[in-house]
Amino acid sequence: MGDEAPVATETPLGNETSEESTGFGFRLSEAIVHAIDRQIISSGLRLIMFLPAFAAITYFASWAFSQTSPAFWEDNIEPNLGIGFSTFMAGLSFVVVFGYIMAVGLHRYRVGISLATFHARVDESNVEHRSVQSLQGYDGLLYQLQTSMFHHTKSLMFALLSSLMLVAVLWYGAGSVFGNLFLLASASFLILSVGQHLPTRSTPFNMVEQTGLLPAYIPPVHPSTLNMVFNDLIKTHMDPLLRSQYDEYTKELETGFKRGVDRHFAHEKFLMTLYRHATGLDRSTLEDEMAEILTKKGMEFVFSHEVFTLESWLVLLGIITHRCPAFFRMVDRLKQDLESGRKPAMDDLIFEVDMENVVTDKANLFTLFHNLSDKTKTVVFRVQTPNFEPKDLALTYRLEPGEHYWWSTEALPLAAKGNEDVLGKMSGLLKDSTVSWQTLIPTTNGDATVSVRLEETNGELLLGRQINVRVRSEFRHWLRTTGSYVAYLFGGFGLFLSTIFFLLEVFGGVAS
């Protein structure tokens, strides 16, 4: 997997060399370019944003002093250089724009390598009979990656046109009429170039890191009722390429489970322990808890895997925690109840519900039902809200008794030998519980309410909750989208004006 990735680079390069040497060279070049891009260009120094901002100053200075140079320049510098201040600033603008072209070009090159590597990995998976194209979300992810590449191509094209306009400025002279018009056109093309780049910052991706596609992947649909809760939640947020590898990973992982350990329980405890490690559980306790469900061979497989390393798990769980905070808040609340020995609201039924406090594009409503009795229960879960779609939702659940009594009225330690600890109880609770995951689409911005009712089949109310949330746009996404549209507006308007005045100047001069 990790060492097979270089093979995937043979196709885009088209070299006649061996698969190993070609793959290593391509992989290395992508890693180097990605490091430069992350530290200097798109992140870190952010030259791709800083250079256009600096160019705005030089453009303005060149236009403001197009008729006369400032006194300090005219008296001390212009006699020696022989050029006016406006021409000098136009030349400096060309240098800055050229640097911007290099930054955009290198960034686009890195994105192109990542996209080519993605296609090669997909082809490699097909050869290994792991069809990625048939997995949920593949078409949407491919469209997202290709759209990002298209935006980068247009950004580079507009940057090149901006530099050509600056050459025309230097040719005609910064103080001439045509020079000012070409200066306006150059600034407009540069604004359009930045406008093309801004949307791509919301969905960055790379193929250097195993989790590099996750920020660009948005799950199109998800299961309404989670069977293996943690497992289903994680698989939903995995990109198709990583998910195809995860299916093989879980098959191999199951061979490392100890005899007599329930497979579903082992999966949930494995992922629950990783989540606790991501939230502060130390490495020694992590290994002790893993050893309760894994053999020595299984432990070696988990801690030496090349794709699903502990670092990859931390990144994946961090992304899921950010996108589904309500689920983990619900899990943490149950954890606190077990740690303190708090009794549930009903003696024979655990009912927990949570939803994020701030809703942007959609709201994730998580609900957990667990039957503590020894008899089957049938309950109706109803959601009513005037601010979301659907406005009225009713689901009927048949709750079977759990295999064990996964609760305790006595305070429990977080981790201890055996399953009489919080990790063991929580893993069993999630295994035997019914977890509902509903997506609500907001219809208005501002304060919103969601009423949740748990009823008997005859309509008698068992428990009711009202959740108050705030619906608003995600600020950074809103800023980038608005900035992109503003750039299109001003860039297009500037090009329109420069074209009209250029035509008037040309045909007006001919007519006279």
pLDDT in tens, 29-75: 788 999 999 999 998 889 999 999 999 999 999 999 988 889 888 88
Kindly state whether residues 42 and 146 are assigned to the same domain: yes
Q: In this predicted structure, what is the pLDDT of residue 246? A: 93
Work out the angle at residue 369's Cα, subtended by the Cα atoms of residues 365 and 375, and round it to the nearest 5 degrees: 160
Kindly state whether residues 439 and 498 are assigned to the same domain: no
Does the CA dihedral 404-406-412-414 come out positive or negative?
A: positive
Q: What is the residue type of 178? A: F
Q: In this predicted structure, what is the pLDDT of residue 117? A: 92
Helices vs strands, H then E, count in the chain: 17, 10
Contact 385, 442 (CB under 8 A): no
Q: In this predicted structure, what is the pLDDT of residue 405? A: 75
Contact 357, 371 (CB under 8 A): no
> Does residue 428 carry a pLDDT above 90?
no
Band (pLDDT 50/70/90 cuts) for residue 28 is: low
Quick check: is 426 in a domain?
Answer: yes
Q: In this predicted structure, what is the pLDDT of residue 83? A: 87
- What gap in Å lies between CA 40 and CA 100, rounded to an integer? 12
* Residue the block writes with tokens 């306790």: 285
Contact 250, 267 (CB under 8 A): yes
Q: What does the H/E/C string look like for 405-442?
A: CCCCCCCCCCCCCCCCCHHHHHHHHHHHCEEEEEEEEE
What is the value of pTM for the model shown? Answer: 0.84
Q: What's the chain's average pLDDT?
A: 88
Quick check: is 406 in a domain?
Answer: yes
Give the pair of three-digit tokens for residue 72. Answer: 């300090």
Work out the angle at residue 24's Cα, subtended by the Cα atoms of residues 22 and 28, and round it to the nearest 5 degrees: 120
As beta bridge partners, residue 464 has: 453
Give percent above pLDDT 70 in the chain: 94
Q: What is the DSSP letter of 257?
A: B
CATH of the domain at 449: 2.60.40.10
Quick check: is 49 in a domain?
Answer: yes
Q: In this predicted structure, what is the pLDDT of residue 220? A: 87
Q: What is the DSSP letter of 260?
A: T
Quick check: is 15 in a domain?
Answer: no
In what helix (H) or strand (E) does residue 98 lie, and over which residues does it extend?
helix 85-127
Kindly state whether residues 304 and 433 are assigned to the same domain: yes
Kindly state whether residues 183 and 267 are assigned to the same domain: no
Q: In this predicted structure, what is the pLDDT of residue 300? A: 95
Kindly state whether residues 376 and 486 are assigned to the same domain: no
Kindly state whether residues 54 and 187 are assigned to the same domain: yes
> Does residue 466 carry a pLDDT above 60?
yes
Quick check: is 58 in a domain?
Answer: yes
- What gap in Å lies between CA 426 and CA 330, rounded to an integer? 12
Kindly state whether residues 321 and 453 are assigned to the same domain: yes
In what helix (H) or strand (E) does residue 451 lie, and over which residues does it extend?
strand 446-456
Contacts of 330 (CB under 8 A, 6+ apart): 352, 353, 354, 366, 368
Quick check: is 13 in a domain?
Answer: no
Give the pair of three-digit tokens for residue 369. Answer: 């039902």
Q: What is the residue type of 242? A: L
Kindly state whether residues 467 and 483 are assigned to the same domain: no
Tell me how many domains the chain contains: 2
> Does residue 90 carry a pLDDT above 60?
yes
Question: Mind listing the pLDDT tens digit for each residue in 3-24?
Answer: 333 333 333 333 333 333 334 3
Quick check: is 1 in a domain?
Answer: no
Contact 450, 441 (CB under 8 A): no
Quick check: is 7 in a domain?
Answer: no
Band (pLDDT 50/70/90 cuts) for residue 221 is: confident
* Residue the block writes with tokens 């809103």: 478
Q: In this predicted structure, what is the pLDDT of residue 26? A: 43
Mean pLDDT of 278-292: 91
Kindly state whether residues 320 and 378 are assigned to the same domain: yes
Band (pLDDT 50/70/90 cuts) for residue 402 is: confident
Give the pair of three-digit tokens for residue 348. Answer: 């024979």
Kindly state whether residues 155 and 246 are assigned to the same domain: no
Kindly state whether residues 143 and 164 are assigned to the same domain: yes
> Does residue 200 carry a pLDDT above 60?
yes
Q: In this predicted structure, what is the pLDDT of residue 15? A: 36
Kindly state whether residues 167 and 286 are assigned to the same domain: no
| Domain range for 31 | 25-208+479-511
